Amino acid sequence: MERIGFIGTGVMGLPMAGHLLDAGYPLGVFNRTPERAAPLLERGAVWHDDPASVASASDVVVTIVGFPADVEEVYLGGGGVLAHAAEGALAIDMTTSSPLLARRIAEAGEERGVAVLDAPVSGGDTGARNGTLAIMVGGDEDAFGRALPLFEAMGSNITRLGGPGAGQYTKMCNQIAIASGMVGVCESMHYARAAGLDPARVVETIEKGAAGSWSLSNLMPRAIAGDFAPGFKIKHFVKDLRIALDSAVEMGLDLPGLTMAHALYAALEAAGEGEDGTQALLRRYEQE
């Protein structure tokens, strides 16, 4: 089996890498906070001290890091993946990042004989743990075929949307849909409480009808119970919405719902709540 290198073992990356171990792949790992990789090391993964070491020891490198600047450093820096991967290697970035950066990385990879896929995911920490992530892929069709067994170990809804950058553009569509939807479900629960209703029972009542959504069924019960632990952190959501807004400007689009949602979440991050989960938006209404 191909040797897999995995960079980024946080809330999402840790269970995703674990599924690759479950599938029998030899796995090498690197994370900026080494202790977060400990559960994988205990199961037989091999530790590497930096991305360069991961790349040089792997046939396929999978990354899921924080921000576009991190992606750029991991791939395009002198100590990064493309500078140290062997010709014929495959690199898969599963971070939600800039579509334009994804294209740059793919072009740089082509110059070095390294195939690159952008493959951001959706489904949160629950999807990562259960191996049911939606995986949105951009890049060469042959590279996608090579990566498909890995994707099938981590997700259940896997689609190649087009060439380099297509996965990231699709993830922006996903985040735009979630953004305004999160505002709606939080306002719905705030309204329920103001009306003297039990919000948990309201969720149970309306989630099977036209109002049903993943956010309503999976995140609102947590928020109602006062659980704001992150499946997906506010600071990362703000980053995603900023990328979507920048892309919209490039395309000449006016997206007022996205603009409003970004402003609300940016205010939460500015108030020191960036490490909380996106469901913490409900707390903004409860504090009124």
Closest CA to 201 of 214, 220, 186, 215: 220
Tell me whether residue 239 is one of the annotated catalytic residues.
Answer: no
Which own/partner pairs from 54-57 qualify as long-range (CB within 8 Å, at least 24 positions apart)? 54/5, 54/6, 54/7, 54/28, 54/29, 54/30, 54/81, 55/5, 55/80, 55/81, 55/82, 55/83, 55/84, 55/85, 55/89, 55/91, 56/84, 56/85, 56/86, 57/3, 57/5, 57/28
Q: Which of 174, 193, 195, 121 is nearest to 151 (CA)?
A: 121
Per the CB < 8 A criterion, the answer to whether 192 and 184 are in contact is: no
- Rounded-to-integer distance, Cα 74 and Cα 265, Å: 27
Cβ count within 10 A of residue 134: 17
CB of 69 closer than 8 Å to CB of 101: no
- Where do we find the tokens 């796995």? 27
Alpha-helical regions (H) of 160-219: 166-194, 199-206, 214
DSSP 60: E
**Dihedrals phi, psi of 77, to nearest 5 degrees:** -70, 160
Catalytic option among 171, 233, 235, 239: 171
The contacts of residue 198 (CB under 8 Å, 6+ apart) are 192
Q: Which residues does the annotation mark as catalytic?
A: 171
